[in-house]
Amino acid sequence: AQKVTQAQTEISVVEKEDVTLDCVYETRDTTYYLFWYKQPPSGELVFLIRRNSFDEQNEISGRYSWNFQKSTSSFNFTITASQVVDSAVYFCALRSGYSTLTFGKGTMLLVSP
Amino acid sequence: SAVISQKPSRDICQRGTSLTIQCQVDSQVTMMFWYRQQPGQSLTLIATANQGSEATYESGFVIDKFPISRPNLTFSTLTVSNMSPEDSSIYLCSVEQGTLNTEAFFGQGTRLTVV
């Protein structure tokens, strides 16, 4: 069985603050894929990143960065210098083996001006 | 990445009626997926739809309530039948692409309210 835990239900920050969204996963498979999605108030799910279990390199894309640590089964997401447009629900997801995607419960990020 | 169009984007329906949601993809895909997201909750997979065969439903979801069609490799429909207020949710269509089908893309969702 696979599981994704996003312990932070809601985070509120002020614009320009840095914020980290936590994601902890569980799987018995050695090959797996981790994802982050953004869901703005409009409802669509926007793909942000995919990381496979063989690649522990951290990734940076503009103001976004991801820290993948197999030793702690974590795949955390940091937004640097947050903006109001970053306000959304962020989902971490896992696929391992031949299973379907399993989503965490999501973290609602509210960025105030 | 795949471009997925979902219709309608939102609807308000009377209880006891049915709504059919359409999902169109701009490229051929083997599997299409339907998810439900109840208010304030995460996404739950309803079923996997393969072209030419019956959909595979997850535990807790049945074909009579959520019939699915998959007439070709770019299109699928999900019907929410005999609706009740508990069916009020966002319904999302998804496809997978990329190496080993490990990239999942979603439509913009259908926001359904049942009154």
pLDDT tens digits for range A46-92: 999 989 898 888 888 899 999 999 999 999 999 999 999 999 999 99
Q: Test A45 with B43 for CB contact under 8 angstroms.
A: yes
Q: Which tokens is A67 given?
A: 């820290």
Strands A19-21 and B75-80: unpaired
The answer to whether B102 contacts A33, with C-beta atoms less than 8 Å apart, is yes
Reported confidence tier of residue B104, pLDDT bands at 50, 70, 90: confident
Residues of A in contact with B92 (CB under 8 A): 45
pLDDT at B32: 93
Is pLDDT of B101 > 90?
no
Chain A residue with minimal CA distance to B90?
A43
Please report the pLDDT score of residue B50 as a whole number. Answer: 87
Paired strand residues for B7: B22
pLDDT band (50, 70, 90) for residue B100: low
Q: How confident is the model at residue B72 (pLDDT cuts 50, 70, 90)?
A: very high
